[in-house]
Chain A
Amino acid sequence: MTHLGFILAAYGATAAVFAALIIWVVRDTREQKRKLKQLEADGAVRRSVQMKR
């Protein structure tokens, strides 16, 4: 295969960017959910939940 180093660099960078984006989204979602759970445990209740009650 010709230009193998260039091809591997391009596909490797693509895989790395996809992996970074997936890790960013998953970690961010988990972090925000954890914070929200903590705040709700501290007594913060959303208006929509209050109205249902």
Chain B
Amino acid sequence: MPTSKANASTAGEAAARPTIIGQLANPTRFLGLTEALMPWLISLAAACLAAGAYLAFFVAPADYQQGDSVRIMFIHVPAAWLAMFCYSLMAVAALGTLVWRHPLADVAAKAAAPLGAAFTLLALFTGSVWGKPMWGTWWVWDARLTSVLVLFIMYLGLIALWRSFDDPGRAGRVAAILTLVGFINIPIIKFSVDWWNTLHQPASVIRLDGPTIHPTMLWPLLIMAAGFTLAFMALHFGAMRAEIFRRRVRTAQIMIAQQRAPAAAPVAGSAVSRSR
């Protein structure tokens, strides 16, 4: 049947055609693509952050209760979103390592961990600095704050885990399992303000019934969040590129050691025989 043969060959060609993710499995291709993308990402991030800062300081009004301290929210909220987004990205990368064995998956996860830790630290610090004048305390052990602190500790644990293995492939698999186990903390952070009675206010932007913030404050927040996300992407691509080069360095060191090993063996043997 010509039709079924044609269908089969089309399906075969489609299966053989590499997907975008498949094409990115080649680190050299990834390096080329990110080299072209990085200037655009950096420019866009800088433009969004500058516009966001301008709107945050010169357009958004002071809050009728919080006064000018509401301006801290324009960096606290994007930092907190990215802290959770970064861990979610690491969880997807962990699946890529364990299920699809994508060569760049654990590179992506390893490169993201320090960035996630930095954004989580920023969220904790800016939240604390906002909390002192508004709540009268730097810190409370409520569910939202505590679960975000747990996220920060998990990032540090994963960074330490990656550093404790010589073989990056083995480290990637172990870290991927731990990352997936730790992902349970993400919905806990998100819904902690609904499940428990917390001092931290409930969600006011990402809600089923729409944002409850006035547009004069919502737009600076969204533009600042876009700037943070673009900056994160640029930093993540940069850190991934450094990690790919680090792995090439490791491979090259092993190759040099292997090339020198046969030549070194008789010398070592003669040294042993001399010592006898």
A contacts, CB < 8 Å to B: 1-4, 6-7, 9-11, 13-14, 17-18, 20-22, 24-26, 28-29, 32-33, 35-36, 39-40, 42-46, 48
Interface size class of B (residues with CB under 8 A): 35 or more
Q: Knowing A2-B68, A3-B69, A4-B68, say if A10 contacts B125 (CB, 8 Å).
A: yes
B contacts, CB < 8 Å to A: 28, 62, 67-69, 71-72, 75-76, 79, 114-115, 118, 121-122, 125-126, 129-130, 132-133, 231, 235, 238-239, 241-242, 245-246, 248-249, 251-253, 255-256, 259
Minimum CB distance partner of A32 in chain B: B245
Q: How far is the CB of A34 from chain B (nearest CB, A)?
A: 9
Known interface pairs A10-B130, A21-B118, A44-B256; 18 further A-B residue pairs with C-beta atoms within 8 A, sorted by A's residue number: A1-B62, A1-B68, A2-B62, A2-B68, A3-B67, A10-B76, A11-B75, A14-B75, A25-B235, A28-B242, A32-B242, A36-B245, A36-B248, A39-B249, A42-B256, A44-B259, A46-B248, A46-B252
Chain A interface, DSSP helix/strand/loop, else mixed: helix
Q: Knowing A3-B69, A22-B235, say if A10 contacts B75 (CB, 8 Å).
A: yes
CA distance A13 to B129 in the complex (A): 10
Return chain B residues, CB-CB under 8 Å to A22: 235
Return chain A residues, CB-CB under 8 Å to B71: 7
Can you name 20 A-B pairs with beta carbons within 8 Å?
A1-B68, A2-B69, A3-B67, A3-B68, A7-B68, A7-B72, A14-B79, A14-B122, A17-B118, A17-B121, A18-B231, A21-B115, A25-B239, A32-B245, A39-B249, A39-B252, A44-B256, A44-B259, A46-B248, A46-B252
Chain B interface, DSSP helix/strand/loop, else mixed: helix
